């Protein structure tokens, strides 16, 4: 069984114990009596050192210079390329002129590399009811033999709000720099296909078009996708598709500094996020997905630019992409092995892994060891102490999470704030404080009881996760095995702190990466999760804290509590947002084409409108829904002078009323030449089908409806100047009404002062500032 346990962590106190106390492994580290304070100090120092090592190894590597060997990935070369590709750093969403210029520069680079390339142009729809004419840029590097190919994928479109230097310019530049590196060496066994696709931000449209319509799609045997939900931090391997046991073995051997954990895919599956790789997921093709998630406040904003893209992160991302492509191009893609893995990296030095189906046996083994150790060594009369220890073990993370509920309001509305380190420090202190508090409250359990209870507690969590969320089971199984292994010897010699220190080191190596990444991954609201994780990581210090001299037993908890309050104060005092980590503030000009009424709408993520913007017009004091489907964008509204431009057109061209079932053929057009137009059906409409230009739009995922308060959106992101043919089939019973909208980037010139009043610490996001016209249309045929 390929179970690797981190080396060097297995303590060796058993010899000392068996020898009847003849050998002393850690002299002076006694866990009881007057010297107990020193044990705790040592434990805190050790956990602090592990935390620092984990933090240091989560920093990306130094970028390699432009003169690096040709076979290597160089961030300096990739950055120069990205500078070239992004040009003036204009946002370049699907269908925009800026996007076409970006494409031309990528194609020129493909030509310069001598790649066999082609452009796939297609009108296609993604899974969220959004369609567009996309232009995918493809190239291939021949292998030694034909057959299954490795697909290296990134997307060239950005959101309308920002230049997308990280998302996904970094991926595009890496694909090109990786292609250059691959071409510099001997051919790989298998072909490599580069897919620089379009319309990812519009709902994975380009990837879908490739899968559905390009002949090369049938050759794909494995996929490497490069993404960015930020501009810095490590390149995390955060998702796998297909059976991943062999993929993890491959990446463990290939990546120079792996930052990977089966926890990430397990959590990612629960999140409402998608990348191009999602399109291939139903095929169960083997795939690995890398992403940058540091600096998430800049994601999909104008600050996702070259100035903020960390060259070290680009290096790490490129190292991962290139190494993974090389490894897959040498692997058996025709019949890859079955089975999934549970895995995690240790300081980016190695990847510990085991088959997913071994998780439950491992957890049960830890449980048996923990229970046996508790029973044999504590004797029946001391089982009560172990029970108290279990209570202390479980109470600490709950208490820590409860304390850390104070962190999000202190750090401010996010989800991503300018200085998350203060909130991180706060929840780490909350974790420590909760462990020390539990140790003081459950002091009667004694070091034995706390150790035995913790071993049983770890094992119980390991068993639970092995059943419910196997990808997360290593977080508990590894400390459980460590705690259970050292339990019997440590109970025999309770005065020795070596066992606690060993378990603390193991728990820290496994759990601190989670604590340090959780705010980047989930936002400041996840501070309670971080606190619970920190409490678990620090729980091996509980026996040392319980051995603190009786008279000063509240001192450790008090010290941690003071640190918590201090960090909370700092989190509250530092600015929530900065020019580098802006609050999202979006300006919308909305004109109701039926009434002719127009409004300025300002959405601020904090729910507070920046004062300089309020001076622009008579904005209301409270937010309102900008449009009935604008659930996610409560906005401040003020009357605006209407534009003389016409609203969108939905013109009946034919159709039939088939016994209560309506089939209508129409032309959807934007006389003011907006690029983006959509139909919105009320929540109770019975929409049987919608087609754009003869292409039936797949029913949007149910998740997409929740974004719009139940309204059903069908959207064409690249509306042709003359409009597009639409066919709608509505079932019996529902309303026969639709809202038609057209949307263009930016606001009318009359709003220039409003946009200019947006403070430097705020910025637009996603679709950015926009001009929206809507009209209600009753559907019917005569």
Question: 3-state class of 316 per DSSP?
Answer: helix
CB closer to Zn ion, 198 vs 727? 198
Beta carbons of 589 and 600 less than 8 angstroms apart: yes
For the chain, the 3-state helix, strand and coil shares in percent, each to the nearest 5, are 45, 20, 35
DSSP summary character for residue 165 = I
Measured from the CB of residue 587, what is the shortest distance to Zn ion in angstroms?
Answer: 24
Q: Write out the binding residues for Zn ion, residues 542-581 only, by CB under 5 A.
A: none
Measured from the CB of residue 230, what is the shortest distance to Zn ion in angstroms?
Answer: 11
Measured from the CB of residue 200, what is the shortest distance to Zn ion in angstroms?
Answer: 5
CB closer to Zn ion, 207 vs 425? 207
User: From CA 408, how far away is CA 417, in angstroms rounded?
Assistant: 10
Is position 742 an interface residue for Zn ion (rule: CB under 5 A)?
A: no
Measured from the CB of residue 602, what is the shortest distance to Zn ion in angstroms?
Answer: 27
Beta carbons of 235 and 251 less than 8 angstroms apart: no
Stretch that binds Zn ion, among 116-124, 161-169, 619-627, 703-711 (CB under 5 A): 161-169
Stretch that binds Zn ion, among 47-55, 166-174, 216-224, 299-307 (CB under 5 A): 166-174
CB closer to Zn ion, 106 vs 535? 106
CB closer to Zn ion, 226 vs 441? 226
CB closer to Zn ion, 227 vs 583? 227
Give me the DSSP letters along 502-533: HHHHHHHHHHHHHHHHHHHHH-GGGHHHHHHH
User: From CA 233, how far away is CA 248, in angstroms rounded?
Assistant: 21
Beta carbons of 273 and 293 less than 8 angstroms apart: no
CB closer to Zn ion, 292 vs 586? 292
CB closer to Zn ion, 166 vs 508? 166
Question: Residue 751 is encoded by which pair of tokens?
Answer: 């709003």
Measured from the CB of residue 298, what is the shortest distance to Zn ion in angstroms?
Answer: 13
Question: 3-state class of 427 per DSSP?
Answer: helix
CB closer to Zn ion, 69 vs 272? 272
3-state secondary structure 85-134: HHCCCCCCCCCCHHHHHHHHHHHHHHHHCCCEEEEEEEEEECCCCEEEEE
Measured from the CB of residue 181, what is the shortest distance to Zn ion in angstroms?
Answer: 23
Per DSSP, what are the bridge partners of residue 652?
666
Stretch that binds Zn ion, among 87-95, 167-175, 588-596, 645-653 (CB under 5 A): 167-175
Is position 168 an interface residue for Zn ion (rule: CB under 5 A)?
A: yes
Burial category of 1 from C-beta neighbours within 10 Å (exposed 0-12, middle 13-18, buried 19 and up): exposed
DSSP summary character for residue 188 = P
Stretch that binds Zn ion, among 54-62, 165-173, 318-326, 390-398 (CB under 5 A): 165-173
Stretch that binds Zn ion, among 168-176, 505-513, 555-563, 761-769 (CB under 5 A): 168-176
Number of residues that bind Zn ion (CB under 5 A): 3
Question: 3-state class of 64 per DSSP?
Answer: coil
Measured from the CB of residue 168, what is the shortest distance to Zn ion in angstroms?
Answer: 4
Is position 583 an interface residue for Zn ion (rule: CB under 5 A)?
A: no
Q: Write out the binding residues for Zn ion, residues 170-229 only, by CB under 5 A.
A: 227
Max alpha carbon distance in the chain (Å)?
100
Measured from the CB of residue 697, what is the shortest distance to Zn ion in angstroms?
Answer: 22
CB closer to Zn ion, 171 vs 508? 171
DSSP H/E element including 716: strand 712-716
Per DSSP, what are the bridge partners of residue 288?
224, 240
Beta carbons of 164 and 92 less than 8 angstroms apart: yes
Question: Which residue shows structure tokens 């639409």?
Answer: 726
CB closer to Zn ion, 227 vs 676? 227
φ, ψ for residue 27, nearest 5 deg: -60, 140
CB closer to Zn ion, 227 vs 745? 227
Measured from the CB of residue 154, what is the shortest distance to Zn ion in angstroms?
Answer: 8
CB closer to Zn ion, 290 vs 714? 290
CB closer to Zn ion, 158 vs 771? 158
Question: 3-state class of 559 per DSSP?
Answer: helix
Beta carbons of 175 and 134 less than 8 angstroms apart: no
Beta carbons of 694 and 645 less than 8 angstroms apart: no
Stretch that binds Zn ion, among 159-167, 411-419, 454-462, 623-631 (CB under 5 A): 159-167
How far, in Å, are 219, 260, 340, 689, 724 from residue 355 at the CA level? 28, 16, 6, 44, 52
Q: Write out the binding residues for Zn ion, residues 634-673 only, by CB under 5 A.
A: none
Measured from the CB of residue 226, what is the shortest distance to Zn ion in angstroms?
Answer: 9
Measured from the CB of residue 275, what is the shortest distance to Zn ion in angstroms?
Answer: 6
Q: Per residue in 179-189, is it b (16+ CB within 10 Å) or e — as a string? A: bbbbeeeeebe
Measured from the CB of residue 292, what is the shortest distance to Zn ion in angstroms?
Answer: 10
CB closer to Zn ion, 272 vs 659? 272
Strands (E), 142-205: 149-155, 192-197
Question: 3-state class of 212 per DSSP?
Answer: helix
φ, ψ for residue 340, nearest 5 deg: -105, 165
Question: Which residue shows structure tokens 């297995």?
Answer: 10
Question: Residue 144 is encoded by which pair of tokens?
Answer: 């030694």
CA dihedral 611, 613, 617, 622 (to 10 degrees): -60
Is position 727 an interface residue for Zn ion (rule: CB under 5 A)?
A: no
Measured from the CB of residue 241, what is the shortest distance to Zn ion in angstroms?
Answer: 17
Is position 167 an interface residue for Zn ion (rule: CB under 5 A)?
A: yes
CB closer to Zn ion, 170 vs 262? 170
Supply the angle between the helices 359-378 and 446-468 in degrees, to the nearest 10. Answer: 160
User: From CA 221, how far away is CA 11, in angstroms rounded?
Assistant: 44
CB closer to Zn ion, 227 vs 742? 227
Question: Residue 66 is encoded by which pair of tokens?
Answer: 């432009």
User: From CA 622, how far away is CA 631, in angstroms rounded?
Assistant: 15
Cis peptide before 421 (omega within 30 of 0): no
Measured from the CB of residue 94, what is the shortest distance to Zn ion in angstroms?
Answer: 12
Measured from the CB of residue 225, what is the shortest distance to Zn ion in angstroms?
Answer: 9
Measured from the CB of residue 229, what is the shortest distance to Zn ion in angstroms?
Answer: 7
CB closer to Zn ion, 209 vs 429? 209
Strands (E), 606-694: 636-640, 649-658, 661-669, 676-681, 687-692
Measured from the CB of residue 167, what is the shortest distance to Zn ion in angstroms?
Answer: 4
The gap from C-alpha 755 to its chain's centroid, in whole angstroms, comes to 30
Measured from the CB of residue 768, what is the shortest distance to Zn ion in angstroms?
Answer: 16
CB closer to Zn ion, 440 vs 717? 717
Residues of the shown chain interacting with Zn ion in the complex, contacts defined by CB under 5 A: 167-168, 227
């Amino acid at each position: 069984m390929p179970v690797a346990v981190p080396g060097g962590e297995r303590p060796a106190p058993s010899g000392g114990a068996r020898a009847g106390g003849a050998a002393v492994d850690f002299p002076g580290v006694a866990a009881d009596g007057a010297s107990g304070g020193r044990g705790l100090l040592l434990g805190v120092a050790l956990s602090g050192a592990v935390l620092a090592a984990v933090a240091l190894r989560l920093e990306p590597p130094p970028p390699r210079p432009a003169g690096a060997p040709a076979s290597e990935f160089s961030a300096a070369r990739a950055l120069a390329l990205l500078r070239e590709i992004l040009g003036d750093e204009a946002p370049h969403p699907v269908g925009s002129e800026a996007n076409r210029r970006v494409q031309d520069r990528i194609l020129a680079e493909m030509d310069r590399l001598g790649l066999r390339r082609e452009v796939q142009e297609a009108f296609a729809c993604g899974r969220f009811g959004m369609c567009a004419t996309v232009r995918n840029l493809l190239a291939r590097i021949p292998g030694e033999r034909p057959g299954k190919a490795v697909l290296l994928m990134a997307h060239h479109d950005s959101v309308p709000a920002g230049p997308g230097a990280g998302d996904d310019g970094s991926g595009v530049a890496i694909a090109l720099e990786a292609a250059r590196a691959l071409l510099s060496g001997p051919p790989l066994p298998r072909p490599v296909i580069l897919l620089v696709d379009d319309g990812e931000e519009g709902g994975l449209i380009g990837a879908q078009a490739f899968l559905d319509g390009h002949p090369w799609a049938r050759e794909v045997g494995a996929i490497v996708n490069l993404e960015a939900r930020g501009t810095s931090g490590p390149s995390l391997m955060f998702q796998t598709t297909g059976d991943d046991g062999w993929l993890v073995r491959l990446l463990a051997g290939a990546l120079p500094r792996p930052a990977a954990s089966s926890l990430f895919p397990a959590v990612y599956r629960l999140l409402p996020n998608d990348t191009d790789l999602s399109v291939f997921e139903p095929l169960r093709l083997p795939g690995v997905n890398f992403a940058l998630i540091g600096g998430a406040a800049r994601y999909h904003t104008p600050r996702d630019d070259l100035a903020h893209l960390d060259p070290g992160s680009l290096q790490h991302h490129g190292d991962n992409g290139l190494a993974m492509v090389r490894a897959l191009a040498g692997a058996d893609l025709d019949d890859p092995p079955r089975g999934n893995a549970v895995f995690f990296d240790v300081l980016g030095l190695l990847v510990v892994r085991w088959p997913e189906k071994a998780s439950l046996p491992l957890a049960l083994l830890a449980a048996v060891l923990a229970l046996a150790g508790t029973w044999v060594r504590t004797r029946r009369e001391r089982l009560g102490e172990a029970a108290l220890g279990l209570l202390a073990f479980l109470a600490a993370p709950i208490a820590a999470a409860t304390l850390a509920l104070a962190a999000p309001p202190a750090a401010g509305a996010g989800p991503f704030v300018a200085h998350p380190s203060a909130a991180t420090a706060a929840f780490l202190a909350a974790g420590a404080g909760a462990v020390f508090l539990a140790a003081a409250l459950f002091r009667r359990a004694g070091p034995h009881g706390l150790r035995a209870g913790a071993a049983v507690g770890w094992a119980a969590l390991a068993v639970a996760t092995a059943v419910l969320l196997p990808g997360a089971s290593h977080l508990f199984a590894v400390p459980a095995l460590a705690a259970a292994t050292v339990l019997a010897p440590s109970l025999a010699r309770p005065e020795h702190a070596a066992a606690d220190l060993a378990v603390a080191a193991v728990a820290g190596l496994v759990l601190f990466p989670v604590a340090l990444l959780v705010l980047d991954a989930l936002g400041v609201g996840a501070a309670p999760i971080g606190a619970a994780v920190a409490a678990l990581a620090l729980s091996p210090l509980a026996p040392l804290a319980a051995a603190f001299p009786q008279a000063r037993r509240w001192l450790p908890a008090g010290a941690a509590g003071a640190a918590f309050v201090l960090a909370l104060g700092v989190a509250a005092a530092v600015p929530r947002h900065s020019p580098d980590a802006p609050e999202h503030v979006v300006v919308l000009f909305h004109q109701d084409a039926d009434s002719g009424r127009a409004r300025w709408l300002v959405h601020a993520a904090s729910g507070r409108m920046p004062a300089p913007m309020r001076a622009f017009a008579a904005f209301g004091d409270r937010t309102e829904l900008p449009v009935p489907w604008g659930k996610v964008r409560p906005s401040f509204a003020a009357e605006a002078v209407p534009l003389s431009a016409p609203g969108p057109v939905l013109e009946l061209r034919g159709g039939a009323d088939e016994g209560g079932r309506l089939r209508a053929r129409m032309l959807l057009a934007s006389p003011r030449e907006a690029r983006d137009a959509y139909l919105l059906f009320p929540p109770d409409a019975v929409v049987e089908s919608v087609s754009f230009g003869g292409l039936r739009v797949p029913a949007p995922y149910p998740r997409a409806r929740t974004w719009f308060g139940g309204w059903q959106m069908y959207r064409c992101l690249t509306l042709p100047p003359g409009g597009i043919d639409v066919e709608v089939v509505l079932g019996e019973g529902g309303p026969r009404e639709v809202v038609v909208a057209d949307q263009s980037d930016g606001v009318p010139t009359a709003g220039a002062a409003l946009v200019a009043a947006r403070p430097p610490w705020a910025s637009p996001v996603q679709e950015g500032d926009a001009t929206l016209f809507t009209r209600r249309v009753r559907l019917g045929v005569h």
